[in-house]
Amino acid sequence: MNTTSTESATEDVNVLCAPKMTKEEAQSLTDAELLRMIQQAQKHTGKYFSNCMNCDFSYTTLIKLLRERGYESGWYKASEGGAPSIKPTIIQMRKSDEVAIRQSFMVDQSIAEEWKQFNKHVPYKTVTLGWALRRFMDDVKSERIKFELEI
């Protein structure tokens, strides 16, 4: 009999038989241990989280514990200066039902190359271009940015 498969089966049984970690026990863990837990929970954040992590609390509870300790999404501690200076805005891009029309623009070669690299895995490049232009126009309209032309 293969000892490796026996050891693996024994470890699986030990995990299944081990008492589940409580929320109170999780609160006593160090920041590093909680961060390690959140990394291990990748792709098991829904209803399977408790079983996969052998605990009696939800993924949401784990997130709340980290936020109570000053961590923000991306799991950095804002008070330690590891946070980016501007929290990114997440834009959910989706293909529009509107009719797309062809429009020609001239841009610097470096911008064209950057744009090509940015879109290399995007199936509908009109979507990213449309959202980029929409975001730019919204920022100008709301005066988040001021556009001054120098000719």
Give tens-digit pLDDT for 32-45.
Answer: 888 888 888 877 77
Q: Are 20 and 54 in contact (CB under 8 A)?
A: yes
Are 42 and 109 within one domain?
no
CA gap 64, 1 in Å, rounded:
46
Asked if the model's pLDDT at residue 85 lies above 60, the reply is no
**DSSP 8-class letter at 22:** P
Place of tokens 């498969």: 5
* Amino acid in the structure at residue 68: E
Q: 96 pLDDT band (50/70/90 cuts)? A: confident
Q: 17 pLDDT band (50/70/90 cuts)? A: low
Query: What's CA 105's distance to the chain center, in Å?
Result: 33
Asked if the model's pLDDT at residue 15 lies above 50, the reply is no
Residues present in the chain in total: 151
Q: Which range marks the domain in which residue 93 is found? A: 89-151
Q: What is the largest CA-CA distance in the chain?
A: 80
Are 57 and 8 within one domain?
yes
Are 35 and 65 within one domain?
yes
Mean pLDDT of 69-75: 75
Domain boundary among 80, 97, 118: 80
Are 63 and 100 within one domain?
no
Are 115 and 151 within one domain?
yes
CA gap 128, 119 in Å, rounded:
8
Q: 88 pLDDT band (50/70/90 cuts)? A: low
Are 129 and 60 within one domain?
no
pLDDT given for residue 7 in this prediction = 46
Asked if the model's pLDDT at residue 108 lies above 90, the reply is yes
Are 108 and 147 within one domain?
yes
Helix axes 31-40, 59-68, angle to 10 degrees: 150
Mean pLDDT of 103-123: 91
Higher per-residue confidence, 8 vs 25: 25
Are 13 and 62 within one domain?
yes
Q: What is the pTM of this model?
A: 0.41
Q: How much of the chain exceeds pLDDT 70, in percent? A: 77
Mean pLDDT of 75-82: 60
Are 9 and 74 within one domain?
yes
Beta strands in 49-133 (DSSP E): 71-72, 76-77
Higher per-residue confidence, 3 vs 42: 42
Domain boundary among 62, 80, 98: 80
